[in-house]
Amino acid sequence: MIYLDNAATTKPSESALKKAEIFNSEYYFNPSALYRGGLDCAKEVKKAKESVLKNLGTSDHEVIFTSCGTESDNTAIFCAVKRGSYVTDKGEHAAVYKSFCELKNKGQTVFFADLLPDGSVDTDKLYDYVSNNRVDFVSIVHVNNETGAINDINEIAKKLKEINNKIVFHSDGVQAYGKLPYKLSKNIDLYSISAHKINGLKGVGALIKRKTLSLAPYIIGGGQENGLRSGTENVFGIKVFEYAGEERYTVLNENFNKVTALKNKALSLIDKSIFKVISSDNASPYVLSVSAVGLKGEVLMHILESEGIIVGNGSACSSKNPFSRVIESCGYDKNVLNGVIRISFSPYNTDDEIVKAIERLNDNAKKLKGIMN
């Protein structure tokens, strides 16, 4: 199988699983317990938090472990500001976008900033709105999960706070953490990450919070995570997340260069007479979105699947929509929207896999074109 849907999920790291296995077999204690085993597990959770902060290059923040990126996003959006005016963009992951829709349904003031054709936020319109309206909370994705567009969140947060220093700024960093070289600035109040996007396990995420920011808990109970996220911590999953993150960050730049070469290989081979490239040249190398204009991307996806090649046709979290809300917001028409294919890479993919996958993508698209004509 050639797996090229790594933006949806990744294969768990065997070495990280093996290293963390002791927290299933021997150190399986509740980290809230006051006996030695529980205290040792609590220390291991603390080590994992320190590792995440080291990877992000920050001492201004703290880590709250959650069950996933969606929970982290929801906690930030619903718990940092009690009520007020909220701003995001039209290209957000459903975990953010639908949370803002829920805020709007509950009577809060919500504004969705436009996108540029590559899926990045139109910062001119964003700054204009914030300059002319009262705004309490802003959420702008770091890397668009469908086009790979990179928003300069450090710069965006800085400019927003120059306009209004009371704004709480959040970013969904799920497609950036462990993939892009960057450091989290003190202007970022809240930042969401997820384990299963970087060869960790599903069911583990984290919300990175600026230390001095006041945040109400989203999940109420025993008061774990310094009272900010109740529920017994998944020590095994957290340690796999830590070790997978360490593996990624040890070779972060090497992986970035390798994946860039894989993406460039794909771009050089893809038939431009059939496929329109949606992702920009300066997008994340981990995501490449194209469209077989006039064809159905879902049909192509299933044909490739039958041949042992796995690609996506948009966000796995919005698969029930007839076509991508995000790509539509970039300004494309129905012919482009119907044909969207997302190819998302891993450092573990090879040149040979890319060559075979793109050859089969081209050939199958040509056949479909012939059938239709």
C-alpha to C-alpha distances, 182 to 19, 57, 63, 176, 198, nearest whole angstrom: 27, 8, 17, 9, 16
Which contiguous run of DSSP H or E holds residue 292?
strand 287-292
**3-state class (DSSP) for residue 138:** strand
CA dist 14 and 20 (Å) reads 10
CA dist 197 and 32 (Å) reads 28
Catalytically active residues are: 317
Tokens of 121: 């936020």
CA dist 180 and 199 (Å) reads 15
**3-state class (DSSP) for residue 315:** coil
Residue 234's nearest CA partner among 39, 19, 71, 67 is 67
CB within 8 A of 30, min separation 6: which ones?
38, 41, 232
Tokens of 257: 């260069």
Length of the chain: 373
